[in-house]
């Protein structure tokens, strides 16, 4: 029988949770917490059922009672982390404030768990905590005036910016760590290279000479804020000029 390529077919959320009678050696929460620690320390490559069992001091059989494979385990951990996305703006207020707060929190969550950017989109985020976040997003985008697929497109814009910005910032920190240099030393090396690129590039040279680069984390934060605000400006402007739909008889 051919192996199913349907990403939803193997999701742990599409079958009833299993409970063990008596006093089980492990709980699902213990397994998820230990898997999260491995992922945060070593990324998805460092997570295996064998290593997880060793970390828990248990046999793999106890883990397989709850999850059939690594993909199901990732589904559980992904949903656990989605539960960390708790926007500071109160629900029911200005939709732009809610949107800004949510994508900020999503980006910060990815920075706390850099492996997350490699899993989002690869595993279906359909667990209860991810669903609660989706409900919040649909709520404020509906209140703004989005509907149907327009709402999905607006959501995709905001989420993609958060994931992309977090991935770039995480990559910078990995680059610095692997270089063995300080943040300032790597930045100086890149600035020196940037200046060397101005020869025979007049537009680049004028632009380069007109700016004063802040420290990297500050620049990344400012670039992220700029992107969020300009997307919200654009979405707001689109809502205002969108042609009214014809009334149905």
* Helix intervals (H) in the chain: 28-42, 49-56, 60-64, 70-82, 95-112, 116-119, 128-144, 148-179, 183-196, 202-210, 216-241
pLDDT surpasses 70 at 25: no
* pLDDT for res 147: 93
* pLDDT for res 21: 55
pLDDT surpasses 50 at 181: yes
Task: Lowest mean pLDDT of 124-128, 137-141, 236-240, name the range.
Answer: 124-128
pTM: 0.80
Contacts of 248 (CB under 8 A, 6+ apart): none
Q: How high is the mean pLDDT of the chain?
A: 85
pLDDT surpasses 80 at 8: no
pLDDT in tens, 71-119: 889 999 999 999 999 877 777 789 999 999 999 999 999 999 988 888 8
* pLDDT for res 65: 83
Task: Give the distance, in angstroms, between the CA of residue 43 and the centroid of all CA atoms in the same chain.
Answer: 14
pLDDT surpasses 90 at 137: yes
pLDDT in tens, 156-165: 999 999 999 9
Average pLDDT over residues 25-53: 90
Delineate the domains of the chain, giving CATH numbers in brackets. Answer: 12-82 (1.10.10.60), 95-180+212-241 (1.10.357.10)
Assign 155 a pLDDT band (cuts: 50, 70, 90).
very high
pLDDT surpasses 50 at 11: yes
d(CA 156, CA 133): 14
């Amino acid at each position: 029988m051919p192996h199913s390529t349907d990403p939803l077919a193997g999701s742990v959320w599409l079958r009833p949770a299993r409970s063990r009678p008596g006093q089980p050696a492990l709980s699902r929460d213990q397994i998820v917490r230990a898997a999260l620690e491995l992922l945060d320390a070593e990324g998805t490559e460092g997570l295996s059922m064998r290593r997880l069992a060793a970390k828990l001091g248990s046999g793999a059989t106890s883990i397989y009672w709850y999850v059939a494979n690594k993909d199901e385990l990732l589904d559980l951990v992904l949903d656990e982390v989605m539960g960390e996305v708790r926007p500071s703006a109160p629900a029911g207020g200005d939709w732009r404030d809610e949107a800004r707060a949510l994508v900020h929190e999503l980006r910060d969550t990815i920075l706390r768990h850099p492996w997350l950017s490699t899993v989002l989109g690869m595993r279906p985020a359909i667990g209860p905590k991810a669903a609660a976040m989706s409900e919040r997003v649909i709520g404020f985008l509906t209140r703004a005036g989005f509907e149907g697929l327009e709402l999905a497109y607006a959501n995709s814009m905001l989420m993609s910016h958060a994931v992309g910005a977090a991935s770039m910032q995480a990559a910078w920190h990995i680059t610095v760590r692997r270089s063995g240099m300080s943040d300032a030393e790597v930045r100086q090396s890149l600035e020196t290279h940037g200046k060397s690129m101005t020869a025979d590039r007049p537009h680049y040279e004028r632009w380069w000479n007109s700016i004063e680069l802040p420290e990297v984390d500050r620049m990344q934060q400012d670039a992220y804020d700029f992107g969020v605000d300009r997307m919200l400006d654009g979405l707001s402007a689109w809502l205002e000029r969108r042609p009214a739909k014809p009334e149905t008889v």
